[in-house]
Structure 1
């Protein structure tokens, strides 16, 4: 899902601040591409690069997602096999893309503002100021588009509390 309305309210505020600061400081247009994920969406994304294209696209169709081509199926999107194993599953994480008009560039060296510095690094450098963790800082499997604000939760504590993936923490706690 793309809508920020499905993020935890505090995570939404931080995401909006990140988008605003990227434009103000670096003249970079940031678009939020993923927020809360359902079990079906997470399964489809996890299958990418791990399953044959026809299986991936069948899962994507089941999740209401557009099909992908063979080139996109060569790249892993997530390391979490289920929505309950990802902060996306609880509305505590989001992904972005840095774009120029309608063009996007997913490469590590993306430099739309032509200042000689990776746009991913520039936006990622704003994460701490916004109260976010940036996936680009992870040492084992960096995830440049990923940002999260667990709000003191861990995946284990969310599961232990009986949180249901595909519903935000806010929805569960206020139900």
Structure 2
């Protein structure tokens, strides 16, 4: 009989240790849920950063896979042993999670609620210096135009629009720019023309193509002259026909002055519609703002990568 209290105490300590282990598992999984929710929100709110991170992870994975393949077959045995141990640990952890499923469900709901609210309300964010606009109808117009018949580029404005004294003083680089729609990627062409239609029909702005395709030589020249770009040859999406520069036209003159309310509204509407059409707008860039510029960013990155791969193959 003297051994019974000692045995009961062992059981109590064992149970306490088990509960402590379960709570450690719960805390671990809660932290993992929080990390996952944060990453999911970040990737949804910042698609460009998501694509860059994905490309970086893909490169790291290929590097890791190559090194793992060279490690030898002996690793397989150790992996097998580790797998059995991990399965046993995982089964124990799963039992603990199942036991506290209500607590975990509440924690998950609390973690997911903020990003859901942010995503639900994000369309009502007002750009700096940009009056509140109801863009929901514009979004549906963009979608309808892209689903309909192919859009045809409008007639260009008179040549002097791009060569007058004001242009030569403020934006001399556009005098010799290529404005041929046929040299722009067909998909990008349709998205931009849909934006033109909405800007004209709904908001009363006439938008014109300032520059489309840009040769590598012209790109290098612009960079050397410190005009309009910091990108060298083959670094700009213009070289692949995947970027265009667009400006609003008023009273026969291209408008650039972001201090002017009419012009500022035109560019912000243009940028918002570009994003609705799946394009990246230069006005959102952190460094040099390029309000006239839109591009198909993901396609451009793939085109640059394909070019680098061709160069590597060709030596």
TM-score range, shorter chain: 0.5 to 0.7
Structure 2 equivalent of residue 162 of structure 1? 310
Question: Using CA pairs below 8 Å that are at least 6 residues apart, which structure has the higher relative contact order?
Answer: 1
Q: How does 1:18-167 map to 2 (within 5 A)?
A: 18-48=195-225, 50=226, 76-82=227-233, 84-112=234-262, 118-154=265-301, 156-162=304-310
List alignment gaps of at least 5 residues for structure 2.
1-177
List alignment gaps of at least 5 residues for structure 1.
51-75, 164-175
| Structure 1 range deviating more: 148-157 or 33-42 | 148-157
Contact residue 283 and residue 293 of structure 2 kept, 8 A: yes
Alpha-carbon distance between aligned partners in 2 of 1:128 and 1:106, rounded to the nearest angstrom: 20
Alpha-carbon distance between aligned partners in 1 of 2:220 and 2:300, rounded to the nearest angstrom: 22
Q: Which has the higher strand share?
A: 1
- Output the TM-score relative to the length of structure 1: 0.68
Structure 1 equivalent of residue 16 of structure 2? none
Give how far 1:157 is off.
1.2
Contact residue 179 and residue 212 of structure 2 kept, 8 A: yes
Give how far 1:156 is off.
4.2
Contact residue 237 and residue 243 of structure 2 kept, 8 A: yes
Give how far 1:118 is off.
2.5
Alpha-carbon distance between aligned partners in 1 of 2:197 and 2:247, rounded to the nearest angstrom: 14
SS at structure 2 position matched to 1:37: coil
Alpha-carbon distance between aligned partners in 2 of 1:112 and 1:99, rounded to the nearest angstrom: 11
When Rg is computed on C-alpha atoms for both structures, the one with the higher figure is 2
Contact residue 31 and residue 96 of structure 1 kept, 8 A: yes
Alpha-carbon distance between aligned partners in 2 of 1:151 and 1:20, rounded to the nearest angstrom: 24
Structure 2 equivalent of residue 169 of structure 1? none
Describe the superposition over 1:55-80 as per-residue Cα deviations: whole angstroms up to 9, x where unpaired: xxxxxxxxxxxxxxxxxxxxx30111
Structure 2 equivalent of residue 171 of structure 1? none
Contact residue 92 and residue 148 of structure 1 kept, 8 A: yes
Alpha-carbon distance between aligned partners in 1 of 2:186 and 2:298, rounded to the nearest angstrom: 11
SS at structure 1 position matched to 2:190: helix
SS at structure 2 position matched to 1:127: helix
Structure 1 equivalent of residue 187 of structure 2? 10
User: How many residues are paired up?
Assistant: 133
- Output the TM-score relative to the length of structure 2: 0.39
Describe the superposition over 1:17-42 as per-residue Cα deviations: whole angstroms up to 9, x where unpaired: 11111112211110011111112221
SS at structure 2 position matched to 1:108: coil
Q: Structure 1's 10 and 161: CA in aligned 2 closer, same or farther, altered over 3 A?
A: farther
